[in-house]
Amino acid sequence: MDRIVVERIVCYGYHGLLLEEQSLGQEFQVSLELGLDLSNHLHDQIDHVPDYRSAVSIVEEVMYGKSCRLLETLASRIADKLLTIDKVIEVTVEVRKPNPPIPGVQGGVSVIISRSK
């Protein structure tokens, strides 16, 4: 399986369990792997491959859209929408809170999910 990787799309969102997260917001980072078949790709044409700019737009649409309490929900919503992109067969989505409101956690928390058609 061939892959297009988009790393660390940064969004400011109002997602989380705590009321403070929902009202004050925080930074999120989203990384993607789009699985596809490029074995027959002979042309240097954007219309023959998924345009990863549309994948970034999908991430932004979900992140700036309806608030979610769980990272798992955010990742699932993003994955479901990414699978609507033509030629994308499978996706892996990582949604990361680099600064979660959890005492002692300094490396962030993330959820990684994979989905396929």
Between 40 and 86, where is the model more confident?
A: 86
Residue with structure tokens 């954007």?
46
Name all domains of the chain by residue range, CATH numbers in brackets. 2-116 (3.30.1130.10)
State the pTM of this model: 0.92
Q: Is the pLDDT reported for residue 48 higher than 80?
A: no
Catalytic residue among 66, 81, 87, 97: 97
First vs last C-alpha separation in the chain: 13
Q: Is the pLDDT reported for residue 38 higher than 90?
A: no
Residue type, 31: S
Is residue 97 annotated as part of the catalytic site, yes or no? yes
pLDDT tens-digit readout, 52-81:
999 999 999 999 999 999 999 999 999 999
Inter-helix orientation angle 52-63/71-82, to 10°: 140
